[in-house]
Amino acid sequence: MIGADRRPDALSTREPDGEHRSPRHGNSKTPRVVELLRKAIEWQALLANGKIANQADIARREGITRGRVTQVMGMLRLAPEIREKILTMPDSTHQPLITERVLRPIGTITEYSGQIREFQRFLD
């Protein structure tokens, strides 16, 4: 069964060809928020080109809940400048300052300028 041995909110750690990702050098790793945004972008592309019909199909494929898919896809509502900042975050050996939980309320702000202002306030 897909996802039976994973937490319900975990996302696949497999590459598209089914292989597990190789270990990173040293103790640094890609921040989780970067992986989640990349996953949201990937899902958006699959939906746009019709390879996946809807978010329920994504949830089944990934072995997670539809609600979790919605949460991750919500990162796409962030201003392009914020998404770029996230995607260019360096690998780190410690807990990153920017997390998905911090970004969720920022993504609910409708104006990009307000999102950027709130994001900058968080970083300061």
- The encoded tokens of residue 69 equal 């898919």
Place of tokens 């939906």: 47
Confidence at residue 92, expressed as pLDDT on a 0 to 100 scale: 81
Confidence at residue 57, expressed as pLDDT on a 0 to 100 scale: 98
Confidence at residue 12, expressed as pLDDT on a 0 to 100 scale: 45
Confidence at residue 95, expressed as pLDDT on a 0 to 100 scale: 75
Total count of residues recorded for the chain? 124
Query: Cα-Cα-Cα-Cα dihedral of 120, 74, 84, 116, to 10°?
Result: -20
pLDDT per residue, tens digit, the chain (124 aa), is: 444 444 444 454 444 444 444 444 556 789 999 999 999 999 999 999 999 999 999 999 999 999 999 999 999 999 999 999 999 999 987 877 899 999 999 999 999 999 999 999 999 8
Architecture of domain 32-123: Orthogonal Bundle (1.10)
Place of tokens 């928020």: 33
Burial environment of residue 101 by CB neighbours within 10 A (0 to 12, 13 to 18, 19 or more)? exposed
Confidence at residue 28, expressed as pLDDT on a 0 to 100 scale: 76
DSSP string covering 81-103, please?
HHHHHHHTPPPBSS--S--HHHH
Confidence at residue 15, expressed as pLDDT on a 0 to 100 scale: 45
Confidence at residue 94, expressed as pLDDT on a 0 to 100 scale: 80
How is the chain split into domains, by residue range? 32-123
Decide: 11 and 72 in contact? Cβ < 8 Å. yes
Confidence at residue 2, expressed as pLDDT on a 0 to 100 scale: 41
